[in-house]
Amino acid sequence: MAHRFKYLAFLFLSLVIFNQSSAKRCKVNLGFDIPERICQRDSVEFINTSTVDSGEFISFKWYFEELGELQTLHAKVAWSDTGIKKVVLIAYDSEGDSSTLEKHIRVIEAFKPEFKVESGCCNGQMSIKAITNQYPYGVKFTYWFTGVDSNNVPLCDSVNTTQTATLVAEHPNGCIDSSTKEFNIYLRPTVDFTYIKISSGFSLKVKFTGPDSMQIYQWRFGDGSYSNEQNPVHDYKEYSQSPTVSLAAKNEHCWDGHSETIPNVLHVSRDEFEDQNRIEIYPNPSGGKFTLQNLNGEVLEIEVYNDQGKNIEIISNQIQPDEVYIELPEASIGVYFVKILTNKGTVVKKLIINQAF
């Protein structure tokens, strides 16, 4: 009986020793490289440098504190916070035996910048503003752009475009982080205008025609008056001036402007006044066929405009000395202005077409 008990004890001890030795059968020298600097939110790669002694098949599993497990040869991870983190590399052989290597690393602070960027217009200044209220002393900020030149001026293209702005923050500890935002660059409108004198005698009115497709119009007539209409008619009280008229207009996104000094066009002389009363249109209203009478051989050029200021007819050759017959076959029913350039000045007469040609 005693011999049997000794035999069973020997057998149990042998099994324990066998199991302990089998748990150490994973023949691998574990090792992995730690990156020189591990910054908050940075994606860093841990390189497995382990060597296998026995030549057996070995599988690896990583454990990263707060992040979980990865079953891969090398591992790439990023921590969102700072502090001491545990990194474990585990090797398994084909029989399930394992070896473990544990290290601790430090994740250091990286500063996350925030900023605002407003969309801009071609050849216009950008508005870019960091909105972070507090940041570590010594942080260096740098902006990077696509589609923008070195002076922070949006570059123009043939269409509206979407670009990106990136704010990079470099911490004194060497960590770098960034934020990227999109912004739009819009085409700038082309603003211009035309004008025509439409009144008789000393009651001088000028009709201005602005561009289409604008949402806002801001006219300044050079005499302290202004208008927000697209095609305003302005009554000038002082006839001897040559005002500078300006128009600023905005489409959906962008402004543009145009200014023009109008020399002499607002000057009404006594001769012009007499010509204005003498020259007549007959018949008026008409069906697009009419005659200018009492020209007295002084007419140099005749122009016809519609009520939008668009020129639809110019006559400059073979003008008869006393009267000129004119046909406007393309003109529709409406109000027109006949501008008559004489050797004494300019006369504008109102024409009404009340039936198709």
pLDDT at 81: 94
Low-confidence ranges of the chain (pLDDT < 70): 1-26, 54-55, 123-136, 147-159, 199-204, 237-241, 263-276, 357
How far is the CA of 255 from the CAs of 127, 154, 159, 221, in angstroms? 16, 15, 16, 19
Instruction: Tell me if the domain spanning 115-186 has CATH number 2.60.40.10.
Output: yes
Backbone angles phi, psi at 158, to 5 degrees: -80, -10
pLDDT at 123: 64
302-312, pLDDT tens digit by residue?
989 887 778 88
Q: How far apart are CA 313 and CA 100, in angstroms?
A: 95
Q: How far apart are CA 88 and CA 100, in angstroms?
A: 7
User: Which CATH architecture fits 2-107?
Assistant: Sandwich (2.60)
Beta bridge partners of 348: 339
Q: How far apart are CA 77 and CA 65, in angstroms?
A: 11
Q: How far apart are CA 336 and CA 307, in angstroms?
A: 6
146-205, pLDDT tens digit by residue?
755 545 555 566 668 888 888 888 999 999 998 888 888 888 888 999 888 776 444 567
Q: Is the peptide bond before 283 cis (omega within 30 degrees of 0)?
A: yes
Sign of CA dihedral 301, 306, 307, 311: negative
Domains 2-107 and 115-186 share a fold: yes
Residue with tokens 């991870």: 77
Q: How far apart are CA 117 and CA 131, in angstroms?
A: 10
pLDDT at 97: 86
Half-sphere exposure of 50 (CA within 13 A, CB side): 29
pLDDT at 101: 96
Backbone angles phi, psi at 58, to 5 degrees: -125, 135
Nearest alpha-carbon partner for 353 in 290, 267, 275, 276: 290
Backbone angles phi, psi at 273, to 5 degrees: -60, -40
**Homologous superfamily of 194-261:** Immunoglobulins (2.60.40.10)
**CA of residue 100 relative to chain centroid, distance:** 55
Q: How far apart are CA 7 and CA 19, in angstroms?
A: 18
The full DSSP string for 176-224 is: EEEEEEEEEEEPPP----EEEE---TTS-EEEEEPPSS-SEEEEE-SSS
CATH code at 270-353: 2.60.40.3080
Q: Indicate the domain borders of the chain.
A: 2-107, 115-186, 194-261, 270-353
Give the type of residue at 144.
Answer: W
pLDDT at 3: 45
Q: How far apart are CA 54 and CA 58, in angstroms?
A: 10
pLDDT at 308: 73
pLDDT at 45: 94
